[in-house]
Structure 1
Amino acid sequence: MPPTGLCLRQFAPGLALRDHVQCFWHAKGIAVPGAEAVELLHPDGGMGLLFNFGGALSRDGKAVAGACWVDGPKLRTARLSVGEELDLLGVRFLPGSGALFIGEALSALTGGELVPGDALRHLALETLHERLCQAPDLVGRIVLLEHFLLERLRHAEVAPPVLSASLKWLRRRTLHGPGAGSIGALVDALPIGQRRLERLFQQHVGLSPKRYARLLRIARSRELIKRGGAAVSLTDTAHAAGYFDQAHFIHDFKAVIGLTPGGYLEYVRQRYG
């Protein structure tokens, strides 16, 4: 499989934003003869903002209207069409942090569709996009975007510490083997009940704890497939990613990625060798 013609650059946030922002990123389409013009965008429990400075954006085979969007928490892999006119600037928030900047429950933004900037008028993303267009270069745009986020953060209501503790617990325990990261075990380790935990996750993550744990397991299994290739059995991959059995692993993997583990292995083999 040829390269997709995508040039992707990532930039670390300043110190004041590092507890909340994964990265700023810039995606540019470049001319590559015979390029496979689709890039897979995998869910990780986070969300982001997108600003378009190129041609019309197409995702999952559909044109997306507008120039800026909120990219809410995804349940499954999205497919971005890559062409020479692609020119996107984005910010990716850490899981549990997006609601601080968006100012509303993320459960309303969860799914696969990009939410147009004008749908959330309190964010004034269209005004921000106009200012970004006037910036002299990419560095200037990132500086403007960082200032915007710092201002939003100054007026944000801080999430309860128990949310951060729960996210860390799931990241640490979910991949320790089948059953190690069960939601019941998490609730037993917390000073709050399961209903309160579910509400916190819907507000700040946009996913239930169970769905977030599933994304962690699938992300881990993708990493293992890319690293080990055909040398590692899918049964071993399933167990290392926290699954009791291969059937459950295959079901979850296909539901999130849109490919079976074997299909993804073939994709990786063709794409990366």
Structure 2
Amino acid sequence: MELLHPDGAAGLLFNFGGMLERDGERVGGACWVDGPKRRTARLAVGETLDLLGVRFLPGMAFPFVSEALSALAGGELTPGDALRRLELETLHERLWQAPSLAGRLALLEEYLLGRLRDAEPVPPGLVSSLGWLQRHQGQVSIAALVEELPFGQRRLERLFQRHVGFSPKRYARLLRVAHSRELIKLGGSATSLTDTAFTAGYFDQSHFIHDFKAVTGLTPGGYRDHVRRRYG
């Protein structure tokens, strides 16, 4: 079982093997748009799994999918035939027929470059906002971010809904929880969860536990146990 943690990214998935099992449910189809996730997903990995995918950095999927990411955000995979203009089913067939992985990657690159040529550029203000939040690992207020921008919070919210899929505040929370997970992994079984919370910018233990569980489905202690079982 693999834990797929949300990071604000989105992508495309192509399946050439057995049926996927995600969050305990079997997922039919051959290709999907994998929108940005709010919660950790659980993917069952079996011998028949044969996936090819591309992940776009947070905020960078819109030029390729031409759909507001807020419409794709959540826990479900969007079937390829739901967005016919992307021609994912046709691309899947071409990828299936390619004689090698290198051939598949070349076809996928050709497709993506074609989408990019006709796309509108990502707004510079979004790029700088994402970078600012990432550098601070989400440990800042959105009001502080807005002070650094040449436009107001309302426009920032619209940019995030369209290009990221959710609000700047939710994205900042994902970054803080991601930082917390890395601290727990680095510290192993000796990790002090109180110290982890403080380093990740939480001054209230209950707030830390609430955010961590809301995103991962596990308490910080439960995740530490998972890390110990997985990595020793």
Q: Report TM bin, short chain.
A: over 0.9
Task: Tell me the alpha carbon deviations over residues 125-167 of structure 1, each in whole angstroms, 9 at most, x when there is no partner.
Answer: 0000000001111111111111110110000001210000000
Provide the residue aligned with 1:104 in structure 2.
67
Match of 2:217 among 240, 258, 262: 258
Provide the residue aligned with 1:205 in structure 2.
164
CA distance in 2 between counterparts of 1:151 and 1:244 reads 48
Unaligned runs of 5+ in 1: 1-37
**Post-superposition offset of 1:232:** 2.6
| Pair 1:161 & 2:120 matched | no
- Contact 2:22–2:43 under 8 Å retained in 1: yes
User: Runs of at least 4 residues of structure 1 off by over 6 A?
Assistant: none
- Contact 2:137–2:179 under 8 Å retained in 1: no
CA distance in 2 between counterparts of 1:79 and 1:230 reads 23
| Pair 1:184 & 2:143 matched | yes
CA distance in 2 between counterparts of 1:235 and 1:255 reads 18
Match of 1:225 among 157, 160, 184: 184
**Post-superposition offset of 1:216:** 0.5
**Post-superposition offset of 1:169:** 0.6
CA distance in 1 between counterparts of 2:75 and 2:201 reads 25
CA distance in 2 between counterparts of 1:41 and 1:189 reads 32
| Pair 1:126 & 2:126 matched | no
Provide the residue aligned with 1:15 in structure 2.
none
SS in 2 for 1:248: helix
**Post-superposition offset of 1:90:** 0.5
- Contact 2:189–2:225 under 8 Å retained in 1: no
**Post-superposition offset of 1:244:** 2.1
| Pair 1:172 & 2:135 matched | yes
SS in 2 for 1:51: strand
CA distance in 2 between counterparts of 1:95 and 1:227 reads 24
Percent identity of equivalent pairs: 74
| Larger proportion of helix | 2
- Contact 1:118–1:126 under 8 Å retained in 2: yes
**Post-superposition offset of 1:224:** 0.6
CA distance in 2 between counterparts of 1:169 and 1:194 reads 15
**Post-superposition offset of 1:82:** 1.3
Provide the residue aligned with 2:39 in structure 1.
76
Cα RMSD over matched residues?
A: 0.9
Unaligned runs of 5+ in 2: none
State the TM-score, normalized to the length of structure 1.
0.83
Match of 1:141 among 95, 104, 108: 104
CA distance in 2 between counterparts of 1:207 and 1:94 reads 14
1:54 corresponds to which letter in structure 2? G
CA distance in 1 between counterparts of 2:201 and 2:64 reads 32
Provide the residue aligned with 1:60 in structure 2.
23
2:180 corresponds to which letter in structure 1? S
Provide the residue aligned with 2:204 in structure 1.
245
Task: Tell me the alpha carbon deviations over residues 67-122 of structure 1, each in whole angstroms, 9 at most, x when there is no partner.
Answer: 00000000000011111111110000000100110011000000000000000011
